[in-house]
Chains A and B, each alone.
Chain A
């Protein structure tokens, strides 16, 4: 059963354009010029209840705009959206009760008060009975390891603790659909892992649907089986993460440490593609190559024959690298 249905969704923004310099400023003051930006163009997809979907794209690709339309914050220029049977932009209570949006650093907690005060406001606003509220806070505090932190003013919390407290506030009404925009932005590795584990557990425990954007590929690989790629406002891929990687990672990364530095780096670069594969980087005696999977054995043999090699390792290309290639090419 799809819980999110998006059909031909579009958003066009007017953006004021100003030439630099005094003349541009005066012209801008007297007559505004606007350029229309197609932030999101004609995208369609469905997400089933309980699915965890990664939403990937470069900065400015249209991810956040799409999330804002799905949560009803902004009005679509065209197309249809249904979330849990509701039209988001109407922001009716049954819809708002079922969803949440977590946005990177944006705080809904009142800065100068303990998080618990803000949580109490949320409990009243969402109509959560006192006893149930206490139970839920206890449960979420445990899942997020926030013991003893909710009585401190929010400004005294570390970034990681604050982000977790924000998550707690965003989930206290136990929403069925979670829209997460960079939920681990700026967190250290431990905190990232904690948030990731928490989201996985929340999804499992409440069968919640999650749509997640992140710049940390580890978030995506840890949580999402399915990914959607958006590029310049258009949906260019919607499918499993595995088949995306297979399609775009027919490479292995070969790291070679040579006994002596390359005599002529430029010539090496020029000839490398016919001989071995694609150069990822050359740093002193260390060379990283991307090699087609089927050519791997032959290439490794060739390298060992041609150069004096101290060390050689073969690994899968990092997911970031794969996704980066897709975006650079702009097509799937």
Chain B
């Protein structure tokens, strides 16, 4: 246990230092996730001129929450992993008594920490610009949000890492992620809140993993009605499915690995 704790803190410290080497890039990464803020403006305009289930303030808060969720759940493991496999950099990691995935987990977690000050700065700026949208969620809501957003990150990481394992067979595993991202973009609630979707579509989407990666935590934060228990169970179900698939692909993939270039 002490060994696990030491490995975790050492990895996190090293990758945190690594992330801080990229000060300027960090700001750009935070800003590159500002699509929800742009959409917020668009929907806000639309809501003022039409009839929606959500008021303009609701919409502004929703997209603000989406922005926060995206800050917490950004995942890029497939790009790093594909590079490691194609360039043979996976080899030295495979020779260490630690599953190479923990390097990626550590780099993602410490990046969250490194971008935190910038994201908080944007939160302050946001409420400075939209004081009418300001609200304070209860502690209970906030804690539930953090739990669900953490799970959303874990699920998104697991799914993308599972796709990344196809790099053992194809040199361009990222193509799978790009295809998947199309569904993610529309069905996760990033472009539009699911409340605005037709009821049958909404019902069907509830059984896919997509809304749980953005809409579910965002809705919890702003207080839109969601079925928390069902949501958590669906997340758990998809998580279990992808975990089994992931481990199976990992074993098969290693047999196929040729350590290209190394």
Give the interface of A toward B (CB within 8 A): 13, 68, 71-75, 91, 93, 96-97, 99-101, 103, 106-108, 110, 112-113, 117-118, 120-127
In Å, the complex CA distance between A75 and B252 comes to 11
A125 to B17, CA, bound (A): 18
**B92 & A124 in contact (Cβ 8 Å cutoff):** no
Which residues from chain B sit less than 8 Å from chain A, CB to CB? 3, 6-7, 10-11, 13-14, 17-18, 21, 88-89, 91-98, 254-255, 257-259, 262
Across the interface, which residues of B come within 8 angstroms of A123, CB to CB? 10
20 A-B contacts (beta carbon < 8 Å): A73-B94, A73-B95, A74-B259, A75-B255, A75-B257, A91-B94, A96-B96, A100-B95, A101-B91, A106-B88, A106-B91, A112-B21, A113-B14, A113-B21, A117-B13, A118-B14, A121-B10, A121-B14, A124-B3, A124-B11
Q: Are A68 and B3 in contact (CB under 8 A)?
A: no
Determine the residue in chain A with the shortest Cβ distance to B89: A106
The answer to whether A126 and B17 have CB atoms under 8 Å apart is: no
- The 9 residue pairs across chains A and B that have the minimum distance between CB atoms: A108-B92, A124-B10, A124-B7, A93-B97, A96-B97, A125-B98, A75-B255, A112-B21, A117-B14
Residue on A with the closest CB to B103? A121
* Nearest B residue (CB) for A125: B98
Say whether A73 contacts B259, CB under 8 Å.
yes
Partner of B14, one of A107, A108, A120: A120
Residues of B near A126 (CB, < 8 A) are 96-97
A-B contact count (CB 8 A): 74
Contacts of B98 in A (CB 8 A): 125
Q: Which of B14, B21, B95 contacts A96 (CB 8 A)?
A: B95
Quick check: A99 and B95 within 8 Å, CB to CB? yes
**Least CB separation from A179: chain B residue:** B95
Give Cα distance in the complex from A101 to B6, angstroms: 25
With A96-B95, A96-B96, A106-B92 in contact, is A120–B10 under 8 Å at CB? yes
Which of chain A's residues has its CB closest to B88's CB?
A: A106
Residues in B with CB closer than 8 Å to A103 are 91-92, 262
Secondary structure type dominating chain A contacts: mixed
**A73-B257 contact given A91-B94, A103-B262, CB 8 Å threshold:** yes
CB-CB under 8 A from B95, the residues of chain A are 71-73, 91, 96, 99-101
Distance A112 CA – B14 CA, assembled complex (angstroms): 11
- Which of B11, B13, B18, B259 has the most CB atoms of chain A within a 10 A radius of its CB? B259
Q: How far is the CB of B4 from chain A (nearest CB, A)?
A: 10
Q: Is the CB of A97 within 8 A of B18?
A: no
Contacts of B93 in A (CB 8 A): 108
**Residue from A71, A74, A118 having most chain B Cβ neighbours under 10 A:** A74
Question: In the complex the two chains form, what is the Cα distance from A127 to B7 in whole Å?
Answer: 8
A122 engages B91 (CB within 8 Å): no
Q: Which residues of B contact A125 (CB under 8 A)?
A: 7, 96-98
Q: Which residues of A contact B257 (CB under 8 A)?
A: 73-75
Inter-chain CA distance A245–B96, complex, in Å, is 38
Task: Give the chain A neighbours of B14 by CB distance below 8 A.
Answer: 110, 113, 117-118, 120-121
Taking the nearest CB of chain A, how far is it from the CB of B227, in angstroms? 42
Which A residues lie within 8 Å of B7 (CB)?
A: 124-125
B residues in contact with A117, CB < 8 Å: 13-14, 17-18
Q: How far is the CB of B174 from chain A (nearest CB, A)?
A: 19
Question: Shortest distance in angstroms between A74's beta carbon and chain B's nearest beta carbon?
Answer: 6
CB closest chain-B residue, reference A91: B94
Chain B's closest residue to A73 (CB) is B259
Q: Which residues of A contact B21 (CB under 8 A)?
A: 112-113
Q: Whole-angstrom distance between the alpha carbons of A118 and B15 in the complex? A: 10
Beyond contacts A73-B95, A74-B259: 12 other A-B pairs, Cβ-Cβ < 8 A, are A73-B94, A73-B257, A75-B255, A75-B257, A96-B95, A96-B97, A113-B18, A124-B7, A124-B11, A125-B96, A125-B98, A127-B3
- Is B258 touching A101 in the complex (CB atoms < 8 A)? no
Measured CB to CB, the closest approach of chain B to A94, in angstroms, equals 9
**Residue on A nearest B90 in the bound complex, by CB:** A73
Which residues of chain A are near B13, meaning CB under 8 Å? 117, 120
User: Please, how many angstroms separate the alpha-carbon atoms of A127 and B17 in the complex?
Assistant: 22
**Chain A residues within 8 Å of B258, by CB:** 13, 74
Kindly state the separation between the CA atoms of A93 and B18 in the bound complex, as whole angstroms: 27
Q: Give CA–CA (A112, B97) in the complex, Å.
A: 23
Is A113 in contact with B88, judged by CB distance below 8 angstroms? Answer: no
Closest Cβ neighbor of A88 among chain B residues: B95
Measured in the bound complex, the distance between the Cα atoms of B88 and A73 in whole Å is 10
